[in-house]
Structure 1
């Protein structure tokens, strides 16, 4: 079974539409959706609860306060294991990630343990992003490739699918990042475990409504954590993991 985990904080303007599109997507007929809400004051949880009460495949995990992206995803992954889900998709609630690409990511789990919805492989792109944000994103990914030696073009992507082996690795308590560096950390952990990583091209669209949660503090955390992981690694990442999947 597949669980789609969606972390939210103040996403009342977009989460209802996302749930409607996920539930109506033909390629996701058997998938369930878990929204992990960190105490949004704008009524996000109430919107999700109305979908869940309608007898759909929607579930809500409410947390009392905003603790960061990493803790939200760790809670969601733990919920998935507790409820018997074998594969997990993670995606944002703001409409940036294409719902119709979810089945494509899942289909590639036959050949990889982690499939990343990538903006920066052939066929992938971003839409409506200012040039400064594109520059920062590409520079950040280049930094990750240089420091960690991961030949992944979009290690910071928040749209990805995890197979059973990758979920087993993450369940061992190997992740500690709070912010968006959680995406890099999960990629690093999966590759370090000798598992296979693939990238599937997607079109990333700027959020439809609401406000981005990215901040300078989150970016700084990513910079120093990448160095911390490299220094603490002690040896190179397994070669067969770095070769990835074409």
Structure 2
């Protein structure tokens, strides 16, 4: 993976305070990586600021959208933009500093033996910093429910810091992904495992944002609960219906180890 072209997709909505510093940290950590800021019409000027950064740095690109369509559609648009331009590896990363760009080299290194590297808060070595107790409890409970309902062997299926080989993105049916919030992360991780992709969880540190406001809402949590429950029911019903054969969950999932930096 040392010669791979890496594109870090960074969705934004009202992240003017954060987008510049996070891109600086990214390029200090992985100088050869390019970044695509996908802005959903931020009223605080995030899109304009990102374009100013792009004018000064050829590694920064901007995809501006006119409406706030949600996390899932932003990532799908970013993936398509990147694959159309020949990037070999696509990375998801939040703009608010919750994900540490300094840990991206470990995710990239994991792709030497995997198709998808998930940054995980809940494997040994992973941790969460500065979250209130109710947020941590909600996240833990959501992942436990997801693991049981979907029979998905992942400790942190909802995490949004991940790196994927472009070939896997091409194989996954993103056209019918309807999830808008963080449920999108569960949706496509589940699809990846079920297609037989090699998946590895790499321990990361997740830190609560310092500036700006969280985009998490009760409606986003509700969407995740309803969709995961419905997918799990459909999966189990498919096993019981005559003539229906459930596609086996054949992806190989393992816990990753901290790796040396890859440039």
Match in the other structure for 1:68: 70
Asked whether the equivalents of residues 146 and 152 of structure 2 are also in contact (C-alpha less than 8 Å), the reply is yes
User: Within 2, Cα distance between the matches of 1:139 and 1:172?
Assistant: 26
Q: Whole-Å Cα distance in 1 between the matches of residues 150 and 234 of structure 2?
A: 11
Distance in structure 2 (CA, Å) of the matches to 1:176 and 1:237: 21
Counterpart residue number, 1:158: 160
Q: Secondary structure at the match of 2:48?
A: helix
Residue 4 of structure 1 is matched in structure 2 by 8
Q: CA RMSD in A?
A: 1.4
State the match for 2:254 in structure 1.
245
Aligned length: 243
2:89 is aligned to 87
| Mapped partners of 1:9, 1:146: distance in 2 | 32
Distance 1:41 1:164 in 2: 32
Is residue 2:34 matched to residue 1:32? Answer: yes
Picking from 173, 179, 182, the partner of 1:180 is: 182
Runs of at least 4 residues of structure 1 off by over 6 A? none
Aligned to 2:79: 77
Q: What TM-score does the superposition give when structure 1 sets the normalisation length?
A: 0.94
Conserved in 2, the CA contact under 8 Å of 1:78 and 1:171? no
Alpha-carbon shift at residue 121 of structure 1 (Å)? 0.3
Q: How far 1:238 sits from its partner (Å)?
A: 3.3
> How far apart are the structure 2 equivalents of 1:196 and 1:227?
25
What is the rounded CA distance, in whole Å, between the counterparts of 1:218 and 1:46 in structure 2?
27
1:19 and 2:28 aligned: no
SS of 1:5's partner is strand
Runs (5+) with no aligned partner, structure 1: none
Shift of 1:191: 0.6
Distance change in 2, residues 1:124/1:237 (3 Å) = farther
2:260 alignment counterpart = none
**Counterpart secondary structure, 1:173:** helix
Deviations 1:181-223 (A, max 9, x none): 0000010110111112111001111002100000000001001
Aligned to 2:214: 212
Mapped partners of 2:231, 2:135: distance in 1: 25
Asked which structure has the greater CA Rg, the reply is 2
Deviation at 1:171, TM superposition (A): 5.2
Alpha-carbon distance between aligned partners in 2 of 1:144 and 1:207, rounded to the nearest angstrom: 25
Q: Could you list the runs of 5+ residues in structure 2 that have no partner in the other structure?
A: 240-245, 256-263
Secondary structure at 1:155 match in 2: coil
Please point out which of 132, 139, 148 is paired with 2:141: 139
